[in-house]
Amino acid sequence: MTRLSHLTRRSLLKNSDYKMRILYGVCGDGFGHSSRAMEIISHLQKKGHKVLVFTFGQATSVLKNAGFRVVEVEGLELIFKNNKPSLKETIINNSGRICRNLIDFYRIKKIVDNFSPDICISDMETVVPVVSFFYSLPLVSIDNQHIIAHLKMKVPKGYKKDFYLTKIGISGLLKADAFVILSFLKKRTRKENVYIVNPILRKEILLLKPKIKDKVLVYQTKPDKRLIKILRKIPEQFVIYGYNMQKKEGNLEFRKVQDKFFENLSDCKAIIATSGFSLISEALYLGKPYFAIPLKQFEQELNALFVMQSGYGEYSEKPSKKKIEHFLANLDFYRKKIKRHKINPKEAFAVIDRVLKKVKKEYYI
């Protein structure tokens, strides 16, 4: 398909039945971005829209295997050293990625011209916002990170430096026409182009019928040998993901990510994991107490603080045997608190539909 002129596109989009061509950028770090993108893209395609995905890293195979049309680009990634984000390594690594995207400019341009998008969506991905700018296309941001940039929040003293650095980074990442922000809590905002919605849950989660069995689910983004040593000393059964191996060692059962993850998530009595937004959302929906071990980045620290302050579990950057045992001894208390937390998994899709319609009208009609 050849690139449409602005006038031709405006003429087509005046027709309310016209289905849009959407260029969707998905951050490839971890599985949280790709898991919610799968649900959003499926929803958009059911509405008749055509979607082309730009992504990188782990999300590339995940979204390709789901049957979506995917183009791999060089995305910006957070680089870890000794289980901590490294600013120096991140800058060095991403400088090379930016250069490779510049070298690859004509391939990307050809793909964009052939697809001829009407609108762009970005979930913390950086190439699609650049495309939006150069092609003068409307951009919608859909993620949970922008809550840091757009809402006022009380930040504990020890986290203020991380908060302001993160806020500056996120605010400078992209300039969108609308922001759909996924949040644990329903907060109000006076900004007309900012919409706060409930988390998006995978369809597999919505189909689960949770039970409480004897195992504790453990999930780590990066392997943590220190945590494994602690868990060996605790008289509980742990099923562990994130170490890319399949074996049983005493009270520890290691599994690869795709192996019975939903089953174990549904049946576990508690979760010990890094404090990613998506997994915490799923845990709360299923009623599972959560021991959060945040990565050294403010968004994860913010999620972990929410878990602890809400009474849904505990939080520690350096978990000890004592802290984990205290958590496991108080699961009934956390479950009672979690019962009060309500999630409407359909809300985000209705808001996304409304925002796309509004942006289309403001931009083209």
Q: Within this chain, do residues 47 and 68 fall inside the same structural domain, yes or no?
A: yes
Q: Within this chain, do residues 189 and 230 fall inside the same structural domain, yes or no?
A: no
**CA distances, 123 to each of 23, 288, 302, 319 (Å):** 11, 27, 19, 31
Q: Is residue 79 part of a domain?
A: yes
Q: Is residue 161 part of a domain?
A: yes
d(CA 337, CA 310): 8
Q: Is residue 100 part of a domain?
A: yes
Within a 10 A sphere around the Cβ of 20, how many other Cβ atoms? 21
Which tens digit of pLDDT belongs to each residue from 105-128?
888 999 999 999 999 999 999 899
Percentage, residues of the chain above pLDDT 70: 86
Q: Quote the tokens at residue 122.
A: 């970005």
Averaged pLDDT, 100-109: 76
Supply the pLDDT for residue 1.
45
Which tens digit of pLDDT belongs to each residue from 20-37?
999 999 998 878 899 999
Q: Within this chain, do residues 92 and 137 fall inside the same structural domain, yes or no?
A: yes
Q: Is 104 helix (H, G, I), strand (E, B) or coil?
A: coil
Q: Which is more confidently placed, 45 or 155? A: 45
Averaged pLDDT, 239-262: 92
Q: Is residue 1 part of a domain?
A: no
Averaged pLDDT, 39-48: 97
Start-to-end CA distance of the chain, whole Å, equals 23
Please state, rounded to an integer, the average pLDDT across all residues of the chain.
Answer: 87
Q: Is residue 49 part of a domain?
A: yes
CATH number at residue 305: 3.40.50.2000
Q: Within this chain, do residues 314 and 220 fall inside the same structural domain, yes or no?
A: yes
Averaged pLDDT, 124-142: 93
Residue pair 115/23 in contact (Cβ under 8 Å)? The answer is yes
Q: Within this chain, do residues 51 and 176 fall inside the same structural domain, yes or no?
A: yes
Q: Within this chain, do residues 119 and 242 fall inside the same structural domain, yes or no?
A: no
d(CA 129, CA 171): 13
Which tens digit of pLDDT belongs to each residue from 224-243?
999 999 999 999 999 999 99
Q: Is residue 77 part of a domain?
A: yes
User: Which regions of the chain does DSSP assign to beta strands (E)?
Assistant: 21-26, 50-55, 70-72, 80-81, 84-85, 119-123, 139-143, 178-182, 194-197, 215-219, 237-241, 247-249, 252-255, 270-273, 290-292, 313-315
Q: Is residue 357 part of a domain?
A: yes
Which tens digit of pLDDT belongs to each residue from 192-214?
899 999 999 999 999 999 999 99
Confidence grade of residue 149 (pLDDT, cut at 50, 70, 90): confident
Q: Within this chain, do residues 238 and 90 fall inside the same structural domain, yes or no?
A: no
Which tens digit of pLDDT belongs to each residue from 261-306?
999 999 999 999 999 999 999 999 999 999 999 987 888 988 999 9
pTM score of the predicted model: 0.86
Q: Within this chain, do residues 357 and 234 fall inside the same structural domain, yes or no?
A: no
Residue pair 276/256 in contact (Cβ under 8 Å)? The answer is no
Q: Within this chain, do residues 196 and 218 fall inside the same structural domain, yes or no?
A: no
| pLDDT value at 338 more than 90 | yes
Q: Quote the tokens at residue 186.
A: 């329903």
The tally of domains found in the chain comes to: 2
Q: Are strands 252-255 and 247-249 parallel, antiparallel or unpaired?
A: antiparallel
Within a 10 A sphere around the Cβ of 159, how many other Cβ atoms? 14
Which tens digit of pLDDT belongs to each residue from 62-71?
999 999 999 9
Residue range(s) defining the domain that contains residue 248: 204-338
| pLDDT value at 337 more than 70 | yes
Q: Quote the tokens at residue 144.
A: 């949970």
d(CA 78, CA 80): 7
Q: Within this chain, do residues 250 and 120 fall inside the same structural domain, yes or no?
A: no
Q: Within this chain, do residues 186 and 313 fall inside the same structural domain, yes or no?
A: no
d(CA 233, CA 169): 40
Confidence grade of residue 185 (pLDDT, cut at 50, 70, 90): confident
Q: Within this chain, do residues 214 and 231 fall inside the same structural domain, yes or no?
A: yes
